[in-house]
Structure 1
């Protein structure tokens, strides 16, 4: 099997693409999705978040929701809102957000390479979230949420992409959030063969985002293999929908923390305790960390710059050296008493796309007692963790811009 291969993508009719594409299913809650899809009958949210078409309060994981998603999917197929390319293709996908631009390949990635860790992971998955994605894939007989992959940049891959992108795009849309989504269909057989060969020569790919989607695809593939005595390995279920970007174009934003209380400490006692591990300096303006080991702390009305003391940084541990780990192990756990940030309700996480003003707002409102601004995790650090076969702490990476749902889907034959 090839690491990746072309596939017959299911795509919106060009005149309707702007009406169809939607944010990823997991970045909107039900009410946000309901509002976003209001008056937009062809929004992909009717497929990815079908509970919006059922009575308020419907359990998003009920059988009725998956059935409604299938009904909406079939409706869009019958109305020719969605149509399938006649021949297997790769797709070149460019995202532009402000001054940032990244261009990658939409492909079908091999499940066996995921299973063998050639497609490398850096997060734990939750069984309930895997179950949800398995049920969604089985209901639609399609993968509609792409897995976000990255690879170490290849000038040869860049050269082929550069042959495609000067042409007229098949889709060119600026979404409601200002992100521009541009898609070119790569139909040329020689270009396709070259891309397949270049990726086959790579040691590995890395999951940036989409661990539950890839895990669900693996489970579906295993179940179908078991049920099919004539299984060959070439079935479409042995591949999953992916968008693959070079590492030098990836953008990771900060993933910040807010905490409800100071664990019974006064402001003065809290500041004194954290001086054991950090050099603490008050600042007159917001603190956006400029390097690893530096943090911003906001207590109502006052920002502080925290710098971790060098002796607190482990020498050769790719996980413990991460800023999210340094903050957790030297402050959030020992001082604030939050040992398990996955489950403790006293801590919440704020994506850097919301800015430092959001940290101030949540503290000044009285909802939270303190906020921490972090320096973004680097793509090199993420790869190092995956290469070591380890997992990152929760909420370590916030990738922007987000991929669009509905732009290209992978139908399972």
Structure 2
């Protein structure tokens, strides 16, 4: 049984929502960030980065307090308003990757601890601790955890019905996405939604493992305060068939002392190799890999596909076990400076350009993992290799705020 709750969200006023909301801070180039902060006084980036000019010169605690102060300024200036009663939201994003529709709700820390909400990625302790401190100091979160639920015809029918209503928000963003938000405030409707999730056995985190782990850590440290908002964390719940799962491709600085000829010979042990020349080739199925090396694309097809576990058969794990570790000497996928990652949402030409620049020697393109692989890993308490999936949709900062 999965427990979800409505909450008294804070959100931008209708006339300013398109100006307030932003992409994740990390997605902006320095020039884009400076432009937003210099020319858009309503951008939520002002809250996230109140001292952006001097960010490297101040402590984390000072920065977090500045975030809290700027957030309170936005509330005092009526840029934000709070719901008078707990609500759910239905949120839809339409962009070049597709249309994504899900429910914004509070999800249970207890469910997270009891593995009703299941995980497939490992977390870094310092990142969990850092974001926990951020939540503690600022008192709010605007980055929901992306969680999937299994197909549910009744929920889908309800979603289709709600989408015919007049929305609370309807706006476009500068990256040419269309955003629509419906508020669900009728108590009978809220009760019905909760019953639908009561009947779901397990939910799965698609994106946001560090955020959920930080919420749990904050709960454990501060639960004696009696603050019931700590018992939940904000999530964007979306049907598993509505996700867009991309691969993360790999580019490596050098061949670890191998010549091109010796490297291809070593690959031939485990892969059938086909030179594709200048064809911008990407894998067409599982157990296939694309490679760009010395001006040519190659198709690599794994010879032996018999594996005893879902982790061993994961394409990212196979590439690590067969190529990255033994041949290229990449031991630590998180921290080795010789390897970088390109999300599969970017074209193959990005990899070609970076290798042709001679900053990198070789690039590998993977086939995206499936939702069933992700769920199988989570069900068996197994962890994906770092940077295995890049999952959409991505939520806009400042659209909905969960206060702690």
TM-score range with shorter-chain normalisation? over 0.9
Mapped partners of 2:267, 2:50: distance in 1 = 47
Mapped partners of 1:29, 1:240: distance in 2 = 29
Mapped partners of 2:55, 2:102: distance in 1 = 38
CA 351–36 in structure 1, closer or farther in 2 if over 3 Å, else same? farther
Q: What TM-score results when the alignment is normalised by the length of structure 2? A: 0.95
Selected match of 1:356 from 348, 355, 360: 348
Mapped partners of 2:6, 2:102: distance in 1 = 14
Mapped partners of 1:257, 1:47: distance in 2 = 34
1:51 deviates by 4.1
Partner residue of 1:259?
Answer: 252
1:257 deviates by 0.3
1:175 deviates by 1.7
CA 62–126 in structure 1, closer or farther in 2 if over 3 Å, else same? same
Matched, 1:407 2:399: yes
SS in 2 for 1:169: coil
Partner residue of 2:288?
Answer: 294
Mapped partners of 2:239, 2:221: distance in 1 = 32
> Contact 1:295/1:307 (CA < 8 Å) preserved in 2?
yes
SS in 1 for 2:135: helix
SS in 1 for 2:301: strand
Mapped partners of 2:388, 2:110: distance in 1 = 27
- RMSD of Structure 2 on Structure 1 (CA): 1.8
Q: What TM-score results when the alignment is normalised by the length of structure 1? A: 0.93
For 1:1-400, what aligned pairs fall within 5 Å after superposition? Answer: 3-28=3-28, 33-52=33-52, 54-55=53-54, 57-58=56-57, 62-98=60-96, 100-226=98-224, 228=225, 231=226, 235-284=228-277, 285-309=279-303, 311=304, 313-400=305-392
CA 32–132 in structure 1, closer or farther in 2 if over 3 Å, else same? farther
> Contact 1:149/1:207 (CA < 8 Å) preserved in 2?
yes
> Contact 2:2/2:200 (CA < 8 Å) preserved in 1?
no
Mapped partners of 1:321, 1:30: distance in 2 = 39
Mapped partners of 1:135, 1:35: distance in 2 = 29
Mapped partners of 1:248, 1:196: distance in 2 = 20
Q: Structure 2 unaligned segments of length 5 or more: list them.
A: none
> Contact 1:9/1:409 (CA < 8 Å) preserved in 2?
yes
Q: Deviations over 1:22-45 (max 9, x none)?
A: 112454577764444331122112
Mapped partners of 2:261, 2:211: distance in 1 = 46
Mapped partners of 2:271, 2:81: distance in 1 = 57
> Contact 1:151/1:247 (CA < 8 Å) preserved in 2?
yes
Mapped partners of 2:55, 2:136: distance in 1 = 24
Q: Deviations over 1:257-300 (max 9, x none)?
A: 00000011111111111000110000030111111111110013
SS in 2 for 1:96: strand
1:387 deviates by 0.7
Q: Deviations over 1:336-367 (max 9, x none)?
A: 11122112111010011221111011100011
Mapped partners of 2:2, 2:118: distance in 1 = 16
Mapped partners of 1:252, 1:37: distance in 2 = 32
State the number of aligned residues: 403
Mapped partners of 1:102, 1:274: distance in 2 = 39
1:183 deviates by 0.7
SS in 2 for 1:38: helix
1:47 deviates by 2.3
SS in 2 for 1:281: strand
> Contact 2:247/2:389 (CA < 8 Å) preserved in 1?
yes
1:197 deviates by 0.7
